Amino acid sequence: MPLIVDQIGRFSSSPLGQFRDLKPWELTAGSPQFIERLLGQLGDDYSVTAGIALHASAIVDPAAAIKGPAIIGPGCFVGAGALLRGGCWLEADCILGPGTELKSSFVFAGSRLAHFNFVGDSLLGSDVNLEAGAVIANHRNEWPDSAISFLYKEGRIDTGVGKFGAVVGDRVKIGANAVIAPGAILTPGTIVGRLSLVDQAPVDIV
């Protein structure tokens, strides 16, 4: 789907390419079942225990918590106090630093969540960097019983789901303590300044 492939260059050629017809929020909402499918397609260089696949070259700190299903790819590092839940996929050479929480999300090669980040129901492209404290929120607490909507290319997109974070394009840099509000598309190479708010909600519901 263009919302994904226009932002993440490796998507179609990656293992996630088999889900290319899904909308981003459909992929994140169904992440546990999709990752369960991917678990059956892994090579012998992964060990799988309780629905958690760990590549032989990945490092997970003993103080991290991973709730399956999850796939931790080659060269990845998961630091102390990190939490992965709700179905997560790390492609290769990704870093989840201390205190980072990743929920129902897919992260492509070389991306780094420095520490004390929250990323929910999102897709992150390659070589994305989140500085300390940056958040990609996934729920509109101020919209009771409302599905997430957002603006993209001057059009309104209604997701029909109550939880969705963002599609973050390749090489995006998000500064310390910045907040990406639920429902966002960040195009490749975007730089979000420290302490910034990115909110793509339609004007009529903010």
Question: Which residues are known to be catalytic?
Answer: 115
C-alpha 63/C-alpha 47 separation (Å) is 19
C-alpha 47/C-alpha 117 separation (Å) is 27
Residue 49 CB neighbours (<10 A): 9
Dihedral angle computed from the Cα positions of residues 204, 189, 114 and 69, in that order, rounded to the nearest 10 degrees: 70
C-alpha 18/C-alpha 22 separation (Å) is 9
Instruction: Please answer whether residues 150 and 164 qualify as being in contact, where contact means their C-beta atoms are separated by less than 8 angstroms.
Output: no
